[in-house]
């Protein structure tokens, strides 16, 4: 008989995703939003790039995804199936949730591209056949 993870793990509360989101909600910013990861070190030089026509500041060496998360830009593309907003997930190139258009090239994993001064980044838009 299959046992649930919580039935045999010594500390199931630690790995319960519902508990994780509860903690994030409790520790969220004062506006009620959830807090994402924060920078450990702010000593690198500042570079700027554009995301959907708006200027974004980043730290030299950041990936595009890290810079966008730090700038509180979370919706990077739309789901191909539903058109729902999608954002970063793994931050290491294993998934494809962070796809954006970089310098006119679509389907780039923003977590795998280092931000450059003056770079032009756009939200990945759904391009469905038959709909225009």
Task: Render pLDDT for 46-76 as a digit per residue (tens, 0 to 9).
Answer: 999 999 999 999 999 999 999 999 999 989 9
Q: Would you say 108 and 114 are in contact if contact means Cβ atoms under 8 Å apart?
A: no
Q: Strands of 46-51's sheet, edge to edge?
A: 54-59, 46-51, 120-123, 99-102, 105-109
Cα(84)–Cα(105) distance, integer angstroms? 22
Query: Residue 102: exposed, middle, or buried by beta-carbon count in 10 A (0-12, 13-18, 19+)?
Result: buried
Could you report the per-residue pLDDT of 25-51, keeping only the tens digit for each?
A: 344 444 455 555 667 777 789 999 999
Confidence at residue 16, expressed as pLDDT on a 0 to 100 scale: 41
Give the tens place of pLDDT for each residue, 66-117. 999 999 998 999 888 888 889 899 999 999 999 999 999 999 999 999 999 9
pTM for this structure?
A: 0.68
């Amino acid at each position: 008989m299959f046992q649930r993870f919580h039935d045999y793990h010594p500390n199931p509360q630690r790995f319960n995703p519902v508990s994780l989101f509860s903690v994030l909600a409790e520790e969220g910013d004062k506006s009620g939003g959830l807090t994402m990861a924060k920078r450990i070190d702010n000593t690198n030089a500042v570079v700027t790039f554009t995301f959907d026509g708006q200027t974004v500041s980043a730290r030299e060496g950041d990936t595009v995804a890290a810079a966008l998360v730090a700038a509180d830009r979370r919706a990077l593309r739309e789901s191909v199936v539903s058109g729902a907003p999608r954002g970063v997930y793994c931050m290491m190139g294993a998934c494809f949730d962070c796809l954006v258009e970089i310098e006119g090239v679509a389907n780039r994993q923003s977590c795998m591209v280092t931000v450059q001064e003056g770079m032009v980044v756009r939200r990945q838009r759904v391009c469905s056949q038959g709909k225009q």
